[in-house]
Structure 1
């Protein structure tokens, strides 16, 4: 066999000479650097560094440095981000096979005037200062440093917002009045998808599967926003934004403990490899619930004219019943304190995750989550205790661009199961029924209260008072964006399908349905279809911004609704803008307002209308007497609003935000009111001309005890005007010292109330004035320290909704948070006091009184494991 000769050295040198340019071209570049706090020089461990327009990125290591390799030569923009800091973008040119260094110095984001928002123009990023609507924001730092048990407590500081704590872990967010125990005038979203309970129609807020540690920001559009967001964006939009794994990679562990035996653990892990990212987040929270002082009574109907009465110290009922009468009710087993019918616990169990894929042109993400919650939820008829109330969702979303054409889509399924939930007043009624049964037995008349409670059939009570809710919602949207010759166009199509099933609805699966005279509807599904288009154009060297938008929505039960919008924004000088606009919005009655069915029909939705007469039904349930009032079927509520606003920044220190509004409401939907008492007045179903308040069989015979003719329901008022203003100011003494304050005022006038003669008032159900102030200090007590002191004052006002009727006294709440950040090790420790002055007025009638609350929180964060 012939041996091959080695390649001559001269030939090898020639090959290397000719191919060396190609070998050099194949050598990638490397980027190194540091990310530090601009004020203290501390390394920001875990900060993310991304090369824009590529898949390359890294997290800052424990020594404060980062390294990104494998980048092709060229000029790039590189962005560094860290929670609570303003992002910084630097430009770098990388040579073939070379190494370049960038040193980032980030400033803490106390200056919210530099914020960028996405909710104002439905997905388009823009500076908050330039937004064509009034928009309020709470960022990660604000939520983490909130003294409230809920991270959404940060929203309480925001201008123009009505914030209600209904317990340790449940909140409510509204604006611009006409509040009830059941607020549905603000559309609630999470990452742009609908986040309401499919059957109840209430916002999910803290019951949602998304744990607290995965929240990146909350953006709230204050005022009508139906032209882009559709029905029920009537008073605004609350959009909770979550963290993606590319910008927020790493591990985040937060542990919180406090009074009321609170412990709250959040754990989040997120990372990415090339184009793929993922995250998984969990939360476990338990606490003892605060008490409200509610007493729930049940007595035979003939005694006081109704079979259930709520008794609260602030209500007229509480003033009307004497102490002796109440003590007698307790002895007989007719009255029960909330602590006797509820375990008074609050809890959250949450698991949420997502898979992400991104390129330069496409972003895709699949997200899913599950939550099980225990806590109090508002009800116009009492208090609903969510007990193992389960919510799950699955969502597929995507966005990107084909050339100049931008696109976005999402499809989401949401389902809920009420678990072991119940209404406290229902449970009290079944306790009382058991007491009546026991007293009818031999020797029962002498039983003491304690003996009664020991002998009641608790398993039977649990079953009889259980709330069933197994509802589903499908929500989808397709949106397109296109810029052409100075016009910015955005248009889209939305489809929603509601499939409710609940024991509080007229398709109650526990009832043997009789006939239509009982107002029991089998199919109560509903569909909403809508399309929208918005056009933005700037004139006069971009000083004048004109925004036109319109939307058309069609609903199963109602005629199409047209929602136009016009906004004019003018930049007087740099960073000072005037804005004027008009919006029309609709609130479509939610499933519950149409199909409610409680108390054997004494509380009903209004899908067919009712007539109230002064004559009792005859023996067959037919009407007698004269007509007192006619209540037509519910129609969508309409509001037409004119706004004028000003935003100004002076010397990057003083920021002023002012908005005044004039809103004319027509056909606005009432809270649940009793329109007939079954004693002097009697209600009849307009579709059948039959009595209500009693469930009948096919022969018209009562199935269960009831009060013939008694009815509590929803209806449309005539018209009213709400005018008001919100004025906010922020002053930045330094980058580390911020003072914020706001004043809000609104009033209801020119009311046209066709039911005033029946004793049904038209109320604002919100305070006329709100006063808020916040001081934020960073690095003032010592480097790394922070202090947030917030105070808000809510003057007294009258509140009436359903069975809640009374006056809320003045409420002043002071919150304090003090903490320290070890940025070089990723550890933060803070202590907080919520309601420092221990004010004992509830946020709303019937809700727990949030007494002084202490908590301590520690968090530990490290950066990406795969991109160091």
Structure 2
């Protein structure tokens, strides 16, 4: 690390230390809040200074502490969902403020931080915010809070496996979504090398989660690069506020009525321990372990990787069958071309034999008579060793050899990846309070597991692990933090490469020059031609040829298959003989923020902050172009936000902006302007203009990876990557024109005039940006009815997409490249959503509906909006329908849509799911028993094409001290 940067960090730290201790005389109030009827302490109660942004909440013992530079007297507001709001005047510091609140019917009183990076009531947020608090987490019907995010307005999830899911809002969903930020206690939760968020693998357990806040739409003005479609903040419980021992054990079954596996057991254990000594020092530790049989991807539809569409046919009816979740069958060749190559090879190796065969064929005799003559007539004895070539020459002469692409026989995903899902994660932290408002934190989060992830391929993640380590100093008005993310791919490998190399292990696709007929395609062509020469139909000839070529094929489940499979899976891609990627990428991040509002006596609100980030890409050439060099990417940025209440505090105007710079790209400024107008008490209209941008991911910049069984190479879009493969000088051909050319070849009349070159932008791939307009309303229509609605319009520029191109090389082959590029022109999208909550007695009725649509598209843009037009959620719950018994039910439906990704494309049908739980609270032992399930009607569905279908998961859980 440079001396300049070290000095800058030191200076910034000193600035925050100095400012925090020089804020002037502060008022500190603390106390306990109880339920008026039961006299029990109330956790999670919001405490806010009236008319200001300063806020806190009570801990598990109902205690709170709040410090402010606000001059006394002032008023604090105590709010909690389902209870009547209480206001209390404060005349000075106090440590024994005991208050009671009574049950009422109040909604919309949650305090959020994400929208403005400062506490404020969710009703007054300048942008749309979805929130899940600690009490809602205990009542969810889904197996985990992460699964329950689907119930939020406008939120959708792409499920790649049981423990791997990607969150998205407002369109352009993808596997391992890189347009959506996830933060855990302020740490970016994205794997820096593999480019997916790991909230389910290395995240927060339900026991330790305090709250989730989710911002749909652009959020770069406050959170920097990324988050072009949304940002989610997950916050764990502070050990000062939530002490003691908690544990949860959950067991159940899934794969009910699943022909692939039959019923399978699901087990999960969560433990949390926290202890504080006075109000100075506290520690916390958590442990979580999950074990289950994963959902299996079994889409065997025939996928045309050239046109990227599903076509009819299966392995029996289509010689070029390529199953979506079948690997190794990506390797193919044209049988007519192979036959002609064999013909040319035989003519060169044996001119006399070649001439003799042609003379015999020219005699007009049938193939059977020719074979008999050669085998019985001594004159032709020298031709007998070359008899296998006779069928090829005969069929070519009679024009019975079809110009048909033929693929190798692949292996189903279930035979290649590890479905024995495990997830183990642990975290620990130490907290020290210098004062009631200044706290130092040392924290580690670490997790490992086995799962399956969908990117440009299906990746079997085995013993994959990520560690995040953080040091932070925070106060009421500031924070300074530094953390690192350490990614280790363990024994992970790529399924299609594994399938292809298993095929090559028992029989190479192309034999060596000394023995060309030992190759799989050569044997196929020889057997096919012989069958055709004998009068077989084309279909019969192809099936017979496959039987011959597949002789010796390694069969799943055998010792020989497993030995070869394990050898390939444990050899790295860079060795040229393996499927394993060896990623050891690290991220280092430093940031700080200061809120000057209190120092300015709240005349207006002002925040400033900055960040610096380093990516160290280390894959040993198995993912990135880093086999012989180290790759580093630096990013830095700074932001400011100014807010002021106007017109007798009826209107709050906020203006913010951020400047960011990355190693490979020009700096850019992202502003945000928002206004919140209070039309009536607890009723607000919000309007915002936001901008967001996303740098090309680390893989967009530097990937250099063979996929699809070696048929395609993915490369970064930077000019240096394009130059490495001479794509500027030896210009490749577009995908559409190359397919047209192949069609002409198959007719026997190649037409090179059909080939059209693709011109890459000399600047290479660049950041994409969005301009987002939103108008919304959130308000209480009486104490029992909360409504939240919004409409948005987004315009994307330089949208990052990808192109497939084919480059002709000196051997007259056309290797395929997949390259990230920026779409020309603008891409627009728009949508709206409506959410309601209604308290009907003790019952909470909720529902939301969202609508998303893609608008204008550039002519060459591949539509990957990947989002249903309409989706809705309905919920019904009661925390205590009868004494100590509560329940929750959630129904979800979404429209069908077309999914397009680098892995596969196809229709995702509409589907609905029903989640439910019933719980029994046992106050005498501070415990709860919950029985429930997700998708309890067991209607299997999939959320994205090529990913597994998801059935029911039924569970029973016991939680102590939730």
Relative to the length of structure 1, the TM-score reads 0.78
Q: Within 1, Cα distance between the matches of 2:102 and 2:189?
A: 34
Secondary structure (helix, strand or coil) at the match of 1:263 reads: strand
Q: Name the counterpart of 1:630.
A: 759
Find 2:501's aligned residue among 405, 423, 430: 430
What is the CA-CA distance between 1:640 and the residue it aligns to?
A: 0.7
Q: Name the counterpart of 1:386.
A: 461
Q: Name the counterpart of 1:282.
A: 287
2:372 is the alignment partner of 1:372: no
Which has the higher mean CA deviation after the structures are superposed, 603-612 or 771-780? 603-612
Q: Name the counterpart of 1:5.
A: none
2:473 is the alignment partner of 1:398: yes
Q: Name the counterpart of 1:775.
A: 876
Q: Does the aligned pair in 2 maintain the 1:44–1:82 contact within 8 Å?
A: no
1:230-259 deviations in Å (ceiling 9; x for gaps): 111211211111110111111111111111
Find 2:732's aligned residue among 589, 593, 612: 612
Q: Within 1, Cα distance between the matches of 2:40 and 2:322?
A: 65
What is the CA-CA distance between 1:190 and the residue it aligns to?
A: 1.1
Q: Name the counterpart of 2:681.
A: 574
2:388 is the alignment partner of 1:257: no
1:682-728 deviations in Å (ceiling 9; x for gaps): 238xxxxxx5xxxxxxxx99xxxx96331222221121211111111
2:813 is the alignment partner of 1:742: no
2:807 is the alignment partner of 1:683: yes
Find 1:828's aligned residue among 915, 924, 928: 928
Secondary structure (helix, strand or coil) at the match of 1:114 reads: coil
What is the CA-CA distance between 1:47 and the residue it aligns to?
A: 9.6
Secondary structure (helix, strand or coil) at the match of 1:450 reads: coil
Change (3 A) 1:537 1:280: same
Q: Within 1, Cα distance between the matches of 2:93 and 2:203?
A: 47
Q: Does the aligned pair in 1 maintain the 2:478–2:593 contact within 8 Å?
A: yes
Q: Name the counterpart of 2:424.
A: 349
Q: Within 1, Cα distance between the matches of 2:642 and 2:664?
A: 30
Q: Name the counterpart of 1:640.
A: 771
Find 2:297's aligned residue among 292, 299, 310: 292
Secondary structure (helix, strand or coil) at the match of 1:431 reads: helix
Relative to the length of structure 2, the TM-score reads 0.71
Q: Does the aligned pair in 2 maintain the 1:382–1:846 contact within 8 Å?
A: no
Q: Name the counterpart of 2:609.
A: 492
Higher normalized helix content (fraction of residues): 2
Q: Does the aligned pair in 1 maintain the 2:714–2:818 contact within 8 Å?
A: yes
What is the CA-CA distance between 1:440 and the residue it aligns to?
A: 7.3
What does 1:71-220 correspond to in 2, within 5 Å? 102=98, 104=100, 113-122=108-117, 124-220=118-214
1:343-395 deviations in Å (ceiling 9; x for gaps): 3122111110101112124111110121102112221x221122111111110
Which has the higher mean CA deviation after the structures are superposed, 382-391 or 605-614? 605-614
2:589 is the alignment partner of 1:475: yes
Q: Within 1, Cα distance between the matches of 2:753 and 2:623?
A: 26
What is the CA-CA distance between 1:452 and the residue it aligns to?
A: 8.7
What is the CA-CA distance between 1:334 and the residue it aligns to?
A: 2.6
Secondary structure (helix, strand or coil) at the match of 1:638 reads: strand
* Residue correspondences, number: 752
Q: Within 2, Cα distance between the matches of 1:281 and 1:83?
A: 28
Which has the higher mean CA deviation after the structures are superposed, 558-567 or 193-202? 193-202
Q: Does the aligned pair in 2 maintain the 1:776–1:786 contact within 8 Å?
A: yes
Q: Within 2, Cα distance between the matches of 1:372 and 1:237?
A: 24
Greater radius of gyration (CA):
2
Change (3 A) 1:66 1:344: closer
Q: Name the counterpart of 1:362.
A: 438
What is the CA-CA distance between 1:557 and the residue it aligns to?
A: 0.9
What does 1:754-773 correspond to in 2, within 5 Å? 755=860, 761-773=862-874
2:914 is the alignment partner of 1:788: no
Q: Within 1, Cα distance between the matches of 2:430 and 2:143?
A: 30
Q: Does the aligned pair in 2 maintain the 1:505–1:592 contact within 8 Å?
A: no
Q: CA RMSD in A?
A: 4.1
Q: Does the aligned pair in 1 maintain the 2:79–2:109 contact within 8 Å?
A: no
Q: Does the aligned pair in 2 maintain the 1:149–1:169 contact within 8 Å?
A: no
Secondary structure (helix, strand or coil) at the match of 2:596 reads: strand
Q: Does the aligned pair in 2 maintain the 1:49–1:58 contact within 8 Å?
A: no
Higher normalized strand content (fraction of residues): 1
Change (3 A) 1:709 1:669: same
Q: Name the counterpart of 2:235.
A: 241
Q: Within 1, Cα distance between the matches of 2:31 and 2:141?
A: 39
2:575 is the alignment partner of 1:455: no
Find 2:487's aligned residue among 416, 423, 426: 416
Q: Does the aligned pair in 2 maintain the 1:150–1:206 contact within 8 Å?
A: no
Which has the higher mean CA deviation after the structures are superposed, 571-580 or 432-441? 432-441
What is the CA-CA distance between 1:430 and the residue it aligns to?
A: 2.3
Q: Name the counterpart of 2:904.
A: 804
What is the CA-CA distance between 1:317 and the residue it aligns to?
A: 4.9
Q: Does the aligned pair in 2 maintain the 1:280–1:351 contact within 8 Å?
A: yes
What is the CA-CA distance between 1:146 and the residue it aligns to?
A: 3.3
2:929 is the alignment partner of 1:858: no
What is the CA-CA distance between 1:646 and the residue it aligns to?
A: 0.8
Q: Within 2, Cα distance between the matches of 1:665 and 1:114?
A: 34
Q: Name the counterpart of 2:693.
A: 586
Q: Within 2, Cα distance between the matches of 1:447 and 1:764?
A: 44
Q: Within 1, Cα distance between the matches of 2:840 and 2:450?
A: 43
What is the CA-CA distance between 1:319 and the residue it aligns to?
A: 4.9
Q: Name the counterpart of 2:839.
A: 732
Q: Does the aligned pair in 1 maintain the 2:591–2:611 contact within 8 Å?
A: yes
Q: Name the counterpart of 2:786.
A: 655
Q: Does the aligned pair in 2 maintain the 1:49–1:78 contact within 8 Å?
A: no
Q: Within 2, Cα distance between the matches of 1:777 and 1:221?
A: 27
Q: Within 1, Cα distance between the matches of 2:93 and 2:113?
A: 36
Q: Name the counterpart of 1:714.
A: 820
What is the CA-CA distance between 1:461 and the residue it aligns to?
A: 1.8
What is the CA-CA distance between 1:173 and the residue it aligns to?
A: 0.6
What is the CA-CA distance between 1:843 and the residue it aligns to?
A: 1.2
Q: Within 1, Cα distance between the matches of 2:484 and 2:697?
A: 18
Change (3 A) 1:205 1:319: farther
Secondary structure (helix, strand or coil) at the match of 1:631 reads: coil
